[in-house]
Chains A and B, each alone.
Chain A
Amino acid sequence: MTEKITETLLLVDDEPGIRKVLGISLADLGYRVLTAENGEAALAMFRAHCPAIVLTDIKMPGMDGIDLLKAIKGESPDTEVIMITGHGDMELAIESIKFEATDFVTKPIRDDILSIALKRARDRIAMRAKLRAYTENLERLVAEKSARLVEAERQAAVGQTVEGLARAFSNIAGDMRGGIHYFNEMPCYVSIHSSEFKIVAANQLFLERIGDRIGARSWEIYGRNSDARPSPVEETFRTGQGQRARRRICLADGSRTTLMVHTAPIRNRERGVELVLEISADMTEMNRLQTELRATQTRFEQLFDEVPCYISVQDRQFRLTAANRRFKEDFGEIEGGFCHEHYKHRDSSCPNCPVAKTFRDGRSHSHETVVRSKSGEQYNVLIWTAPLRDETGEVTQVMEMSTNITQVRQLENRLSSLGLLIGSVSHAIKGLLTGLDGGMYLLGAGFAKSNEAQIQEGWETVRMMVERIRRMVLDILYYAREKDLKWERIDVVSLVRETVAPLEKEISEAGIDFSVDMAPALRAVELDTGIIRSVLGNMLENAIDACRMDASGRKHRIGLRVRPDPRYLFFEVVDNGIGMDDKTRESLFKTVHSTKGKRGTGLGLFMSGRIIAQQGGAISVTSIPGQGSTFTLKIPRERNASLSPTRS
């Protein structure tokens, strides 16, 4: 098989083994293979992806292959469906051919027979494509021919007008030479010739474009000598009949153009031809106007295709009759499909459809919704509709324009999470300032009373508050800053030691037993140590707080375990503190959540979770109320090249 296959193929079989093996060989042949395990799943997948070829087992639990075949052919007659039949299922195989299956192959499937069936399917697809191209080509040819016909009609119409004018003029004009100014406003060249074949008068356009040729010979503007083909004026004098001819002339600016020349005799009282009126229309001018019209059309088509939104036109049944390039790129070729199929992947029209409203009241409507592209991505779109009316003013179609506002919505979400953050930060700051006031009050009162113990207490409070403020500021900086990750190779033992050191005093003051358990095989790993230190410190602080808040009176313990597996490094912080119920545990990673009253900002875990996820890791937690919690930080041992260096 040398030709390049680009089709998508849906493979349906309830046996996982067949899906796997056959899937691999089909992918080897170059198909993009989708699989489904039963008829219902297959139909859903078919609607979502519109594969060109479906390869389905006949016997399946639930919706079987024949029902699937009927459903697919009902929705999309052009889809090629190949049936897989078991040995001895000939009746079913023949029945499936009745329902327009492309072919059937029997189990066990032989590669060569499958290839033949697939080739037949592809040939049929190619044939249909050719037929479609031919039909479209035919339509184009018809359009061109009719355009030419219209052109000819138009030329004939110009000729008739000129003749009519000349005739009318010959009736009213006593002195043709003086009457020429009547023609000044006409968008064609008008001249009057004497019986000596001399130009005796010409209108303004003639003088401007062809030049002041008064007195020149009638044929000179055609750029020839007197001995060549006679000019229309000469013919008119000779025959006494009006002439019509296509002639090329040379304009005053040196350019050449083709004129449609009409002449009419102007007779004297004795009915002899005294003068000849020549009126010429510039064909290139008409062509230019037509070209301009075509260019305008093309520009509109380009605009239609290139505007940064999805445009479609729908009839009263919501069938798509036109769609721009962007629409087709993201939602597939329209081919007579319905709006709700392309946008929403559903079988019937949507509630609150703005197009339906426009059909009802003839006005524009807007609507915001979420749509799904052909590749399964969800977009937030803002839809505007506009009525398209026929000559009688009736709305026959509706144009729908949708702008993708997914990024705007994402930004909004981020802003509202920032708002929550600011709320919780300002709340925390109020608490910290009150604490700082308290510390300063104790200091002041202690000094006033020379009370050493109170001074000491006040100083400790101020120190603690400053430390909490410092931590909070660092938390906020981590959240707010777009920063590159700083990868460095580091020894895990010293990383843990450095993280634990600043907390040791707090741990021993709270009367907590602390132990570190590290697997002996731990060697250097590559990490952003700043972030790991911050997150691990955060987890340890949480554990200390959980022990402090537990009023059970038991002896408290915190254990830090570090263990590796081939891909990840796990840091586990185990405490026997107050513990959490499920609801608290679930809300831990939300911005404003704090279980610690005035003690916590509620920022720590929210930010830790985000930062670690960005590094390809995760934070998880198990907990039992009254018994304690285990926080686990999982982080890849090596830098993952696919991860973005900055936070989105």
Chain B
Amino acid sequence: MAKTILIIDDDPVVVKYLSNLFQDNGYETLAAASAREGMDVLKGTVPDLMTLDLEMPGGWGAQFYRQVTKEERLKDIPVIVISGVAGRHAIKKAVAYMAKPFDPDKLVAIVRKTIGD
């Protein structure tokens, strides 16, 4: 079964970009435009990986991550930070930090290394 990636970013253009990129590489995708939407998605499912923007309406990405990892079933989801703000240390447990604009091949390589095909 294909692995699922949850994309959290408030910019619909970025969401569309990442969705297509991941789908073209054989992953399924879910998307959320805010921290609140992200929590809603996570109520029903546990994705294999999350990409997270740090700066979003309704909450700072790092706060959202802390809230997510409080739940036992969610605490081990690998996270890749994709952001325009310098926040390399905002989420210490993040698998990778990609600064916008990012290199799509590099991103896919990291995803593949983290969760496999």
Task: Identify the A interface with B (CB < 8 A).
Answer: 427, 430-431, 433-439, 441-442, 445, 454, 457, 461, 464-465, 549, 595, 597-599
Whether A461 touches B14, Cβ cut-off 8 Å, given contacts A430-B100, A441-B104, A597-B56, is no
Q: Which of A435, A439, A442, A595 contacts B11 (CB 8 A)?
A: A435
| B1-23 interface bits toward A, Cβ cutoff 8 Å, 1 = contact, 0 = none | 00000000111011011101100
CB-nearest residue of chain B relative to A428?
B84
Whether A438 touches B13, Cβ cut-off 8 Å, given contacts A445-B20, A445-B24, is yes
Inter-chain CA distance A430–B21, complex, in Å, is 19
Whether A595 touches B57, Cβ cut-off 8 Å, given contacts A437-B101, A445-B24, is yes
Inter-chain CA distance A484–B98, complex, in Å, is 44
CB-nearest residue of chain A relative to B98?
A434
B102 interface contact, C-beta 8 A: yes
Are B100 and A431 within 8 A (Cβ)?
yes
Q: Which of B24, B55, B99, B101 contacts A597 (CB 8 A)?
A: B55
Nearest-CB distance from A601 to chain B (Å)? 12
Whether A430 touches B55, Cβ cut-off 8 Å, given contacts A438-B17, A599-B11, is no
Inter-chain CA distance A434–B83, complex, in Å, is 10
**Can you offer 9 A-B residue contacts whose CB atoms are under 8 A?**
A433-B101, A434-B13, A439-B13, A441-B17, A441-B104, A461-B16, A464-B13, A597-B10, A598-B14
Are A431 and B16 within 8 A (Cβ)?
no
Inter-chain CA distance A436–B16, complex, in Å, is 12
Inter-chain CA distance A164–B62, complex, in Å, is 99
CB-nearest residue of chain B relative to A458?
B20
Whether A598 touches B11, Cβ cut-off 8 Å, given contacts A437-B17, A441-B17, A442-B20, is yes
Whether A435 touches B13, Cβ cut-off 8 Å, given contacts A454-B20, A598-B84, is yes
Are B20 and A427 within 8 A (Cβ)?
no
Inter-chain CA distance A439–B104, complex, in Å, is 12
Nearest-CB distance from B64 to chain A (Å)? 14
B85 interface contact, C-beta 8 A: yes
Inter-chain CA distance A648–B4, complex, in Å, is 55
Are B20 and A431 within 8 A (Cβ)?
no
Inter-chain CA distance A442–B16, complex, in Å, is 9
Nearest-CB distance from A464 to chain B (Å)? 7
Looking at chain A's contact residues, is the secondary structure mostly helix, strand, loop, or mixed?
Answer: helix
Whether A434 touches B14, Cβ cut-off 8 Å, given contacts A441-B21, A441-B104, A597-B56, is yes
Number of A-B contacts (CB under 8 A): 67
Inter-chain CA distance A465–B14, complex, in Å, is 11
Are A441 and B20 within 8 A (Cβ)?
yes
CB-nearest residue of chain B relative to A457?
B16
Nearest-CB distance from B39 to chain A (Å)? 15
**List of A residues within 8 angstroms of B99 by Cβ:** 430
Nearest-CB distance from B36 to chain A (Å)? 10
**List of B residues within 8 angstroms of A461 by Cβ:** 13, 16-17
**List of B residues within 8 angstroms of A599 by Cβ:** 11
Inter-chain CA distance A436–B101, complex, in Å, is 9
Inter-chain CA distance A610–B11, complex, in Å, is 29
Are A427 and B16 within 8 A (Cβ)?
no
**List of B residues within 8 angstroms of A445 by Cβ:** 20, 24
Q: Which of B10, B57, B102 contacts A434 (CB 8 A)?
A: B102
Inter-chain CA distance A433–B14, complex, in Å, is 10
Looking at chain B's contact residues, is the secondary structure mostly helix, strand, loop, or mixed?
Answer: mixed
With A434-B17, A598-B13 already in contact, 6 other A-B pairs whose C-beta atoms are closer than 8 Å: A435-B14, A437-B104, A438-B17, A461-B17, A597-B56, A598-B9
Q: Which of A427, A438, A464, A595 contacts B14 (CB 8 A)?
A: A438
| B39-71 interface bits toward A, Cβ cutoff 8 Å, 1 = contact, 0 = none | 000000000000000011100000000000000
CB-nearest residue of chain B relative to A464?
B13
Are A427 and B101 within 8 A (Cβ)?
no
Task: Identify the B interface with A (CB < 8 A).
Answer: 9-11, 13-14, 16-18, 20-21, 24, 55-57, 84-85, 99-102, 104
Inter-chain CA distance A598–B99, complex, in Å, is 14
Inter-chain CA distance A48–B77, complex, in Å, is 68
Most chain B CB within a 10 A radius of its CB, from A439, A442, A598: A598
Nearest-CB distance from A391 to chain B (Å)? 63
Are A435 and B17 within 8 A (Cβ)?
yes
Inter-chain CA distance A161–B100, complex, in Å, is 93
Are A442 and B17 within 8 A (Cβ)?
yes
Q: Which of A430, A438, A597 contacts B16 (CB 8 A)?
A: A438
Nearest-CB distance from B2 to chain A (Å)? 18
**List of A residues within 8 angstroms of B104 by Cβ:** 437, 441
**List of B residues within 8 angstroms of A441 by Cβ:** 17, 20-21, 104
Inter-chain CA distance A339–B104, complex, in Å, is 67
**List of A residues within 8 angstroms of B21 by Cβ:** 441
Most chain B CB within a 10 A radius of its CB, from A436, A437, A438: A438
Whether A597 touches B57, Cβ cut-off 8 Å, given contacts A430-B100, A435-B13, A441-B104, is yes
Most chain A CB within a 10 A radius of its CB, from B10, B21, B100: B100
CB-nearest residue of chain B relative to A448?
B24
Nearest-CB distance from B42 to chain A (Å)? 19
Inter-chain CA distance A166–B101, complex, in Å, is 100
**List of B residues within 8 angstroms of A457 by Cβ:** 16
Inter-chain CA distance A44–B20, complex, in Å, is 71
**List of B residues within 8 angstroms of A434 by Cβ:** 11, 13-14, 17, 84, 100-102
**List of A residues within 8 angstroms of B16 by Cβ:** 438, 442, 457, 461
Inter-chain CA distance A433–B104, complex, in Å, is 13
**List of A residues within 8 angstroms of B101 by Cβ:** 430, 433-434, 436-437
CB-nearest residue of chain B relative to A440?
B17
Are A431 and B11 within 8 A (Cβ)?
yes
Whether A427 touches B85, Cβ cut-off 8 Å, given contacts A437-B17, A442-B20, A595-B57, is yes
Whether A427 touches B24, Cβ cut-off 8 Å, given contacts A437-B17, A438-B13, is no
CB-nearest residue of chain B relative to A598?
B11
**List of B residues within 8 angstroms of A433 by Cβ:** 100-101
Nearest-CB distance from A427 to chain B (Å)? 5
**List of A residues within 8 angstroms of B84 by Cβ:** 427, 430-431, 434, 598
CB-nearest residue of chain A relative to B85?
A427
Nearest-CB distance from B17 to chain A (Å)? 3
**List of B residues within 8 angstroms of A435 by Cβ:** 11, 13-14, 17
